[in-house]
Structure 1
Amino acid sequence: MEPAQNTSYWLDAVALVYFFVVWMVYSYTTAKGFGGRKSLTYEMNEARRQWMATMATRELRMIDTSIMIGLQQGTGFFASTSILAIGGCFGLLNSSGRVLTLFHEIPFLNETTQQLFETKILGLLVLFAYAFFKFAWSYRLFNYCSILIGGVPMARDKGPDDPLVLASINRAAGINIQAGQHFNSGLRGIFFSIGYLGWFLHPLLFMATTTFVAIVLLRRQFFSTARDVLMRNSVSEL
């Protein structure tokens, strides 16, 4: 193996490790907070709990059913999109030789072998497969949540502090939050797959696009207008 090629392989390995480290750090930061700031996801989880508590006071729950249908449809759309992306990866594997020939004709691109190129495609396929399983499980959890919503007793009949009412609300809210978390994990896989595309051009670009995606996502979670709106406690602040 030539020294230059050996160096390139090491750079590929470093870039791949960097990709997963950034992904894990972002996931941890979203869950635990950033500089004392709560994430947009955390605030939405609180909104889900409030939704379930409000739902228990409604005699007719058609609006809650409509919301659940919308959540399931959105999740199903992304699951289907992930399946299509997986199929696209298999198609790319089938024509990897021709694609690699085109890549070699583009100047300033990193030299790569067909084996490494196909490994990169397989990695992209794994990302989409991960996203699909997350979306599929989220879809099923939203379905479970719909069943739990149907089983929540009327707070007006038993009283808002009745143990059965509170337990039913907590179960429905917990499953709803879990469904949202798995949906967010699937979306995270889709977002980071955009950064992963940089690896097909150059390992350094791979690290740059990964960093860019992480910065965009961090901004949306901790510094976006949507988060600021959720943090406001009174109507006068809106």
Structure 2
Amino acid sequence: MTLLDAIAFAWFVIAWAGYAWLVDVVGRNGQGLTQVMAAYRQRWMTEMLTRANRIVDGQINMTLQQGTAFFASTSLLAVGGGLTLLGATDRAVEIVQALPLGYHPSREQWEVKVAGLTLIFVYAFFKFAWAYRLFNYCAILIGATPDGDRSGTQEALVMAQRAATMNTIAASHFNRGQRAFFFALGYLGWFFGPVVLIVSTAAVVFVIYRRQFLSNSLDAVRF
């Protein structure tokens, strides 16, 4: 690895960790889309207490769970693709070296980069798989919450709070897995050179930051 490669990879790691810190820590004041939706999850479970029939709530939770399952399956396919790409290293290197980019990676560099990309999708799979399980636990908590006749009791309020917290934690893991997908797109730039990695990572951070803190969707749901 060249010095520029090391700088580009360090920038990639810092950008990912820094953005995660920004969303998870700084965004706790309710300014980010994730935190605003967490408040709506709390409100959802509070409203659930007024309904004796929880079919709608179970269906909403199932929809969230199905989306998580889709991304988990996609992660496994991406991992398989990465492993397949490792078996076609020579051909891939030839194609990249033939491109007019002035960048000629070695076989070892290519294999390291593919291994890194595969590990990103492995991380994403673990996040999505755990989120899927937590949404399953949330469905159990919804079913365990007392019905509408007891919605005013302290027990019902506590159970609704637990269901909301479980749903929020599941969403947090889902968001981290999806964030890994976004940064994997930025990581692809490294296959075409360290400068491209720096630019592609910056582009990913710009896009997801705008969606999290400056988007029309945030304006639509902000209290």
Give the TM-score taking structure 1 as reference length. 0.90
The reply on whether 1:85 has 2:81 as its aligned counterpart is no
C-alpha deviation, 1:37, in angstroms:
6.7
Amino acid corresponding to residue 195 of structure 1 in structure 2: G
List gaps (5 residues or longer) in structure 2. Answer: none
Deviations 1:93-129 (A, max 9, x none): 0001111011111122422210111000000000000
Instruction: Tell me, in whole angstroms, the C-alpha distance in 2 between the residues paired with 1:106 and 1:135.
Output: 36
Out of 141, 149, 170, the position equivalent to 1:157 is 149
Instruction: Return structure 1 stretches of 4+ with deviation > 3 angstroms.
Output: none
The reply on whether 1:174 has 2:160 as its aligned counterpart is no
Residue 206 of structure 2 corresponds to: 215
Instruction: Tell me, in whole angstroms, the C-alpha distance in 1 between the residues paired with 2:12 and 2:178.
Output: 16
Identical-pair percentage: 42
Aligned to 2:81, what secondary structure does the other structure show?
Answer: helix
Residue 116 of structure 2 corresponds to: 123
Residue 193 of structure 1 corresponds to: 184
Instruction: Tell me, in whole angstroms, the C-alpha distance in 2 between the residues paired with 1:24 and 1:33.
Output: 13
1:72–1:139 Cα contact (<8 Å) kept: yes
Aligned to 1:68, what secondary structure does the other structure show?
Answer: helix
Residue 128 of structure 2 corresponds to: 135
The reply on whether 1:99 has 2:79 as its aligned counterpart is no
Instruction: Tell me, in whole angstroms, the C-alpha distance in 2 between the residues paired with 1:102 and 1:81.
Output: 26
CA RMSD, 1 decimal: 1.3
Aligned to 2:2, what secondary structure does the other structure show?
Answer: helix
Q: Which has the larger radius of gyration?
A: 1
Count of aligned residue pairs for this structure pair:
222
Amino acid corresponding to residue 167 of structure 1 in structure 2: V
Instruction: Tell me, in whole angstroms, the C-alpha distance in 1 between the residues paired with 2:136 and 2:33.
Output: 24
Instruction: Tell me, in whole angstroms, the C-alpha distance in 2 between the residues paired with 1:148 and 1:63.
Output: 14
Residue 16 of structure 1 corresponds to: 9
Instruction: Tell me, in whole angstroms, the C-alpha distance in 2 between the residues paired with 1:32 and 1:90.
Output: 35
Residue 113 of structure 1 corresponds to: 106
Amino acid corresponding to residue 31 of structure 1 in structure 2: D
Amino acid corresponding to residue 34 of structure 2 in structure 1: T
C-alpha deviation, 1:32, in angstroms:
3.0
List gaps (5 residues or longer) in structure 1. Answer: 1-7, 234-238
